Structure 1
């Protein structure tokens, strides 16, 4: 099966590739054409997912298709952008029809859930990797960015943290757990749900935001640096799921929440006057700390004593731990 036959059979014919609002020209030409209304910006984000680094290989291709698009779409949520379209660059060791069919189904499932249209991409032979570029639109002056947090504001997250990190040993087959524990954790790893509606809700309210992909401590450090403030996190206020607590106890759950990656929840700073309105529409939003004068991220215990920071989130080119 050639490259163009592969594209035609498994991707161009998918429901998510049939065009729609904002897509003037999709798959089949040298470029896609997107319509962006006057007064709006085009939000663009690119992610690369490599087998053995970002996901285990082998793995279920349906789940991989869902996950690959979800983690990229989470960047649109973090900017308060409305999803528009995406492209896929797919590097495959071989054109396995059963694998491609399952992957395309998972990809289409997430695309339709997020109202995204597949408008192009590329395929090539090589070690398995996925390149996703997502496009969204946001009114000028309304995009959420990492800069803008002000001392005195609240530091919030969009829901429970650490579940995907807790699931990783289960994904890798390093341990087992009862179904009542494993199922919700594995769902958070393989089917993260981009918090698109929360991102839209935060426009005009949140002063800074991002999605948590590489761990709470590390990602909050980006807000602190961009906003030139300090972020104070109260360890006792971390939202932890019952499944994560049951898996390994509170200390392990806190470590997952603070340093584990792949949460894809939004972390944001918020003037206190907006909290009631945001929680009325999104009850899972939790206040975990405050913005302060200073720099960096600081962690405190229940008595208000500052704690040493545990190891931060994953870095591809960080210092060796050997």
Structure 2
């Protein structure tokens, strides 16, 4: 195990990370632990994600956006469970390119999003690595006791909904790599989504109150729906014709020669960090009202039936996508 840069480690903690700590539970980062009081009537929900340079973010991505993406992808997981986020634990493996200015940028990105999403740093660790840089975050949230929404509650007759738009993560990665030809404003939108996706925190309360099953769209819409279908022991019909697209994704889509293949790519690309969920059909109007009140785009994508797996259709015809979504193998 390589030796730690002790001076750099403790200066990083003291100067950059301690200001992010929870004023009480994080113990000012002067201890090796965080101590959380119990919250009567609530369950503690935890989730953990790691991101690695060259896999989840590009080597030239600014570290403030890397930090914000790391926090946001975890907050997306909590939102899909109906949980209210309040804190996180952080581990940083700084590579040689992570000098003091880069570490300052990383901490500044966290500070901006802490203020936006109402969360605090609870503790963690920092080390150095010959590379690539890697960061891991464990997010913590509260949900009313017994109320966390799993992947396993979908029932035949439920409808399938998704928040926001699908495909911007895939196109954003391509835009960041210089692989897309669109106008500069749309390219900037897609790159920003890839680097800084927006978790649907405001919709978590609706998920907790009305969803029978839910997942955040990280691996790809088809893959994450498959997780729900398998966990719930049901079949899910997904209509690609209904896939919600942003204006930037729509512009890209309209230039495609094969619209079916294009929609398959968007539905399996991943990195969208929306919430896909199932709910009883009788709640359609309620869900639409709640979405409108929160200014969240909500799209009806399909339905749940007796059976197994996910059936994808386009133009009323079933099809088999070449892949379901992203996998690390």
> What's the TM-score, normalizing by structure 1?
0.92
Is 1:297 the counterpart of 2:310 in the alignment? Answer: yes
Is 1:99 the counterpart of 2:102 in the alignment? Answer: yes
Structure 1 window deviating more from structure 2 (305-314 vs 109-118): it is 305-314
Change (3 A) 1:248 1:237: closer
| Residue-pair matches, total | 312
| Matches of 1:217 and 1:74, distance apart in 2 | 17
* 1:26–1:33 contact (8 Å) kept in structure 2: no
Give the aligned partner of residue 320 of structure 1.
none
Give the aligned partner of residue 186 of structure 2.
181
Is 1:237 the counterpart of 2:242 in the alignment? Answer: yes
Give the aligned partner of residue 45 of structure 2.
43
RMSD value over aligned CA atoms? 1.6
* 1:25–1:34 contact (8 Å) kept in structure 2: no
Moved over 6 A (4+): none
Give the aligned partner of residue 224 of structure 1.
229
CA deviation profile, 1:175-207 (whole Å, cap 9, x unmatched):
443122112212211121111121211213110
| Matches of 1:43 and 1:18, distance apart in 2 | 18
* 2:26–2:122 contact (8 Å) kept in structure 1: no
Residues 204-219 of structure 1: pairs in structure 2 closer than 5 A? 204-219=209-224
* 2:161–2:298 contact (8 Å) kept in structure 1: yes
Unaligned 5+ runs, structure 1: 318-322
Match of 1:3 among 9, 21, 25: 9
Is 1:58 the counterpart of 2:60 in the alignment? Answer: yes
SS of the aligned residue for 2:146 comes to: coil
Is 1:308 the counterpart of 2:323 in the alignment? Answer: no
Give the aligned partner of residue 255 of structure 1.
264
CA deviation profile, 1:233-259 (whole Å, cap 9, x unmatched):
011111111211212436365134311
Give the aligned partner of residue 146 of structure 1.
151
SS of the aligned residue for 1:278 comes to: helix
* 1:77–1:199 contact (8 Å) kept in structure 2: yes
* 1:28–1:120 contact (8 Å) kept in structure 2: no
* 1:27–1:120 contact (8 Å) kept in structure 2: yes
